[in-house]
Structure 1
């Protein structure tokens, strides 16, 4: 399922509208049971939505289908309850430039649904409108990546912090050989400043200049902080 819909070439970008975002992966419910999900976001003309989503709708018969028209702010809040502030989290993510079957195997082998820990593994498909913008036209680089992966878990029992964090590190260690040295910046956790610079690539110097001009005291310092140089 993951190979067919996520990290593979089964669904080509030509099969999809350039206004579609596609992601696939695994979640688990409170009992630890896992299930596969296929998510999509269509940002084009709503009159063309049914035709644009046809390829995805024909993928298979789902246990649940929650695709519906929403205003964008509602879409942004979809995961808020699941990602509550009082829980403990371990999350990692990277871009993927080329498909390797071993990556898919390692994604599934390392993922496990554990009672009391909500695990997430997802693959976000790039391409389409994302790749139509030059890397020097916005702050974000990596537009030529084919996918982005994000894995991790969250839990409420603080006594499990060390055990579950180690699970996350072991899981991630088996994925990094197949990933690029870039990240979707909102996935940054405890990476150092050098990795922030690497993720912004050739645009980092220009961003530092803007930071120096408008925020030299570094008031805005979250989300992969670009530190001022003055």
Structure 2
């Protein structure tokens, strides 16, 4: 092992960090503090050739290969005991083409970095909810965030991807080159290779009107029902979602209400700000908010809004489900379980999957659940490991309460380590086709530290570039 790593060190420009090195304890950590793995080595890749070398090394040495972009994977797929980690965090270049309205970004780029660069050009593409999330994992799993209703998922805006495949080859996948691989990358997770560069379509986005409205639990059912009814007619400029939170210690929250449970509407509006104010006012007509904050801000600030509440190192355990219809019984379950929310950093967000997301044909990308109306994510997050058993039980109880009112599937980017058996359901109707692409590009399942797609037993023909 030591000799092999020494050979690898001669092949890469980046740093190799091993157990015993001064940087090792920091390098082995990922966003989820519940994950405490000790990899054999972390390679800080600085170039595509570094990635090729790590992929080939893992295959030759028959080592587990963990691929880390932003490191936000809830199951901790960016690390593993005894694995070699391809850490792409040094690869964060972002280049904007104003004429084409596109941006290319390295595979280790975070949404905060990407948004800051593109916002300087008055442009953006659909990203996530937390700015420290990596573009890679979020895009490969689909990509849910504030701009979906207007512009689709992150993967819908992916124009091309530079990929290192399991055999160490470097390919550029797009609609015109290796189209079947490109199809699989848009929703199939990290099953098919390491994406070292992403090129996205951009959209003009200026200041965004942002609203956080906290409603009493007694008003929660009416607010959730109103939101659901309003969704069908809401303009595409609206990017909000209903949620459940314990009130955090923010300036607009009355001091005596901090830590109490509320039904929340998180809103964004990318159109005329006055029109957005009038639209937000419709929620106030349903019930008076107990607390609220409404203000315009740059899109990167919206994407970073929850960052201060969610620093690296919290314990994370999540469950989620796609929801076709928001029933009254489901709403009642949300109110009941949210009243027992154990920590101020926990949340339930019910992200919408309508608008531009629905306009993409179900088989156009590997993201397999465009028939869903929402994805309800129960995000258990807390600082103290001593509370893991109790708080994990709350997440499971919450999921059990909403499961009868949901699809038997969830969003792969929100899955927990114990959801692996649900991978076929989570990939939906596209799963069989994904197994065939997997067989073509990764027949030995080198890329298995993910919501894994096992290779089809029947080898498909090799795909030509076009």
Q: Indicate whether the TM-score tops 0.5.
A: yes
Cα deviations across residues 184-218 of structure 1 (Å, max 9, x unaligned)?
22111124444222122222233334444445565
Q: Does residue 68 of the first structure (1) align with residue 292 of the second (2)?
A: no
Between the aligned partners of 1:49 and 1:225, the Cα distance in structure 2 is 43
How many residues are matched?
A: 225
Of structures 1 and 2, the larger Rg is shown by 2
The aligned counterpart of 2:380 is 153
Contact 1:25 1:120 in 2 (8 A): yes
Does the 8 Å contact 2:423/2:451 carry over to 1? yes
Specify every segment of 5 or more residues in structure 2 that has no aligned partner in the other structure, as ranges: 1-218, 250-257, 458-466
Match of 1:94 in 2: 321
Give the structure 2 partner of residue 18 of structure 1: 236
Query: In the alignment, what sits opposite 2:409?
Result: 182
Q: Distance in 1 between matches of 2:450 and 2:309?
A: 20
Give, in angstroms, the shift of residue 84 of structure 1. 2.6
Residue 54 (1) aligns with residue 54 (2): no
- For residue 390 of structure 2, give the secondary structure of its aligned residue in structure 1: helix
Partner of 2:338: 111
Is residue 273–residue 296 contact of structure 2 (8 Å, CA) maintained in 1?
no
Aligned in 2, Cα 1:160/1:194: closer, same or farther, shift over 3 Å? Answer: closer
SS in 2 for 1:149: strand
- Listed as ranges, the matches of 1:156-171 within 5 Å are 156-171=383-398
Q: Distance in 1 between matches of 2:295 and 2:317?
A: 28
2:359 is matched with: 132
**How big is the shift at 1:109?**
0.7
SS in 2 for 1:86: coil
Q: Decide whether the 8 Å contact of 1:19 with 1:128 is kept in 2.
A: no
Deviation at 1:112, TM superposition (A): 2.8
1:196 corresponds to = 423
**C-alpha distance after superposition, 1:88-134 (max 9, x if no partner):** 12211111112321111111111136675532122223321111111
Greater displacement, 157-166 / 79-88 = 79-88
Shift of residue 229, structure 1, vs aligned partner: 4.7
CA distance in 2, matches of 1:110, 1:153: 12
8 Å Cα contact 2:224-2:331 kept in structure 1: no
The structure-2 alpha-carbon separation of the partners of 1:97 and 1:119, relative to structure 1 and needing over 3 Å to count, comes to: same
Q: What TM-score, normalized by structure 2, do the two folds share? A: 0.43
2: CA distance, partners of 1:203 / 1:42: 33
Q: 1:52 to 1:166 in 2, by over 3 A?
A: same
- Aligned partners of 1:4, 1:123: CA distance in 2, in Å? 16
TM-score normalized with structure 1 length: 0.80
Give SS of 1:81's match: helix
Q: Give deviations 1:157-202, integer Å, cap 9, x for gaps.
A: 1111111111221222111111111212211112444422212222
